[in-house]
Amino acid sequence: MGAHASIRAIRDYSGEFADPRRISIIGTKLVVSVGLTMSAALMLAACGSTPTGTSSAGSTSASAAASTTTTATGSAEVFSSWTSGSESAALQSLFAAAKSANPSLELVNGAVAGGAGVNSKQVLATRLAAGDVPETWKTNPGSELGDFVKQGVVADLTGLYASEGWDKVVPKELIDSMSYAGKTYAALTGVHRANVLWYNKPLVEGAGVTVPANITFANFATIAAQLKSKGITPLCLGDKDIWTAAQLLEEIVVGEIDADGWNGLMDGTLSWNDPKVVQAVSDFSTALTWTNKDHKSLDWTGAVAGLADGTCAFNLMGDWAYGELTTKHNKIDGTDFGYTVIGDPNTFVTVSDAFVEGVGSKNPAGAVAFLKALMTPEGQIAFNKLKGSSPVRSDVDLSQLGVYQQGAAKTLADGVKVASLVHGQALVPAADSQALADNVAALEATGNATAFSAAMAKAFKANAG
């Protein structure tokens, strides 16, 4: 994937973020405050954690030793929050790949369900503070990974990137997003696109509606009116967890003010009080009037299920929904469902997950074996085919993926990359993501776009200070 002019420099040579309001390429899938969920883990400072941007000498040597081992043995825990149908299936594909290469290795699935991932973060923080370190765990590049690096609880994988040749096949900007002071600390499973508007193809076409490859919000409003006139609920939403509503708002805003405008919001050169932003926020409130009545009792998988079942027509969700549609609901790309984008079709709002090697685990060789498996071409294809994301390796055969994924991978390579605030990949203070979650919850209750924008502008200013 080539770098794009809209992507700002990520870090300076000291290993710190060059500017906390600059933008990274990849990040999390939740609206949570990293500071909140990681507060317990900060207790590790009293247990010999290392300075910012470094890892302990033992962490580097453990990885180096493990990387020379032919096969791993014993038991290794893989900790994550992946428990949905497609997420679990994708994770199991990595287990199978690691087991194939290491027949005597037992991988333990340590996934923690609930709370849209918040539960797993809290459990992990508590365990790390107590010295109960999983061999590997899922994290997100950006501020979350940076906190782990500062605590000295993740191993330096730079040598592994060199010995396995990953540094030759993973785009530099992706490696940079996982690096501090010239050292790389994580391996990516894939890159998700957040700004996808999925639709039930038979339902929509049966209502006489044609959906173009990209639409304006005005187009979407016209389509919604057509569907409502046919007795069809236009928009599937499951915002039991507030991040899904926040994502709907984010992608409407990105679609209306474009990539440069969104980047301006993140770096402070565009105000949340700008009339274009206020209008986009108002359009979000309009979109809420098109949703299913039970949206507050559903999570994101419930909304995708509604789309699959035809109880509603559209769903704004990242392409982890693709994995859910094809894996859990056995729907066929292009036959049972279609997809479009609000605004510029070349804008790719990026979200990703990564795994690390924990420092002080009982079986570091097991962690490295798992990382090697997820980074093989076969592991990348198997995982992303089920998860819906795009592989991070530039040398994989994309023809093995579905039609949607092939197109998404091309947009990832050639399009404009935009960092998601909802999913924590924008290099702004974690408090800004939390402010978005809090203010979206208030906006849902009041519908006051002006008040929302004013609150966001105030939060960004305060957090920058």
Q: What does the alpha-carbon distance between residue 324 and residue 336 come to, in Å, rounded to a whole number?
A: 13
Q: What does the alpha-carbon distance between residue 62 and residue 135 come to, in Å, rounded to a whole number?
A: 12
Domain assignment present for residue 89? The answer is yes
Question: Do 404 and 434 sit in the same domain of this protein?
Answer: no
Q: What does the alpha-carbon distance between residue 309 and residue 361 come to, in Å, rounded to a whole number?
A: 44
Domain assignment of residue 243, given as a range: 196-348+422-464
Domain assignment present for residue 11? The answer is no
> Which tokens sit at 73?
């043995």
Is the pLDDT assigned to residue 11 strictly greater than 50?
A: no
Is the pLDDT assigned to residue 47 strictly greater than 60?
A: no
Neighbours of 414 (CB within 10 A): 12
Is the pLDDT assigned to residue 119 strictly greater than 60?
A: yes
SS (HEC) of 409-420:
HHHHHHCEEEEC
Question: Do 359 and 413 sit in the same domain of this protein?
Answer: yes
Domain assignment present for residue 66? The answer is yes
Output the furthest CA–CA distance in the chain (Å, rounded).
66
Say if residue 371 is exposed, middle or buried (CB neighbours under 10 Å; 0-12, 13-18, 19+).
buried
Is the pLDDT assigned to residue 61 strictly greater than 50?
A: no
N residues, the chain = 465
Query: How far is residue 371 from each of residues 185, 198, 219, measured CA to CA in Å?
Result: 11, 32, 44
The span from the first CA to the last CA of the chain, in angstroms, equals 34
* Mean of pLDDT over the chain: 85
What mean pLDDT comes out for the span 241-270?
A: 97
> Which tokens sit at 352?
């990703």
Question: Do 50 and 178 sit in the same domain of this protein?
Answer: yes
Say if residue 320 is exposed, middle or buried (CB neighbours under 10 Å; 0-12, 13-18, 19+).
buried
Q: How far is CA 35 from the centre of its chain?
A: 18
Q: What does the alpha-carbon distance between residue 51 and residue 33 come to, in Å, rounded to a whole number?
A: 22
Neighbours of 172 (CB within 10 A): 12
The pLDDT value given to residue 55: 37
Per-residue burial over 9-36, b = 16 or more CB atoms within 10 Å of its CB, e = otherwise: ebbeeebebebebbbbbbbbbbbbbbee
Question: Do 120 and 170 sit in the same domain of this protein?
Answer: yes
Contact 78, 190 (CB under 8 A): no
Domain assignment present for residue 319? The answer is yes
Q: What does the alpha-carbon distance between residue 203 and residue 306 come to, in Å, rounded to a whole number?
A: 12
Residue 176's pLDDT band, with cuts at 50, 70 and 90, is confident
Among 385, 401, 419, the domain boundary falls at: 419
What mean pLDDT comes out for the span 107-120?
A: 83
The pLDDT value given to residue 115: 58
Question: Do 77 and 186 sit in the same domain of this protein?
Answer: yes
Q: Which residue has the tokens 């501020």?
A: 143
Neighbours of 130 (CB within 10 A): 13
Q: Strand ranges (DSSP E) for 146-255?
A: 179-180, 183-184, 187-193, 196-200, 214-215
Helix (H) or strand (E) holding 352: strand 347-357
Q: What does the alpha-carbon distance between residue 410 and residue 187 come to, in Å, rounded to a whole number?
A: 21
Is the pLDDT assigned to residue 413 strictly greater than 90?
A: no
Question: Do 208 and 333 sit in the same domain of this protein?
Answer: yes
Question: Do 206 and 126 sit in the same domain of this protein?
Answer: no
Q: Which residue has the tokens 């200013």?
A: 461
pLDDT digits (tens, 9 = 90+) for 311-362: 999 999 999 999 899 989 999 999 999 999 999 999 999 898 899 999 999 9
Question: Do 431 and 285 sit in the same domain of this protein?
Answer: yes
Domain assignment present for residue 275? The answer is yes
Residues facing residue 426 across a β-bridge: 23
Of 300-309, 418-427, 430-439, the one with minimum mean pLDDT is 418-427
pLDDT digits (tens, 9 = 90+) for 188-231: 999 999 999 999 999 999 999 999 999 999 999 999 999 999 99
State the Rg of the chain over Cα.
Answer: 21
Question: Do 326 and 443 sit in the same domain of this protein?
Answer: yes
Question: Do 390 and 284 sit in the same domain of this protein?
Answer: no
Domain assignment present for residue 14? The answer is no
Contact 72, 105 (CB under 8 A): yes
How many domains, in total, are found in the chain? Answer: 2
Is the pLDDT assigned to residue 256 strictly greater than 90?
A: yes
Runs of H (alpha helix) within 289-387: 300-309, 320-323, 364-375, 377-387
Question: Do 211 and 326 sit in the same domain of this protein?
Answer: yes
Domain assignment present for residue 328? The answer is yes
The pLDDT value given to residue 3: 32
What mean pLDDT comes out for the span 253-274?
A: 97
Q: What CATH code is carried by the domain that includes residue 278?
A: 3.40.190.10
Is the pLDDT assigned to residue 278 strictly greater than 50?
A: yes
Domain assignment present for residue 4? The answer is no
pLDDT digits (tens, 9 = 90+) for 13-39: 223 333 333 333 333 333 333 333 333
Question: Do 210 and 299 sit in the same domain of this protein?
Answer: yes
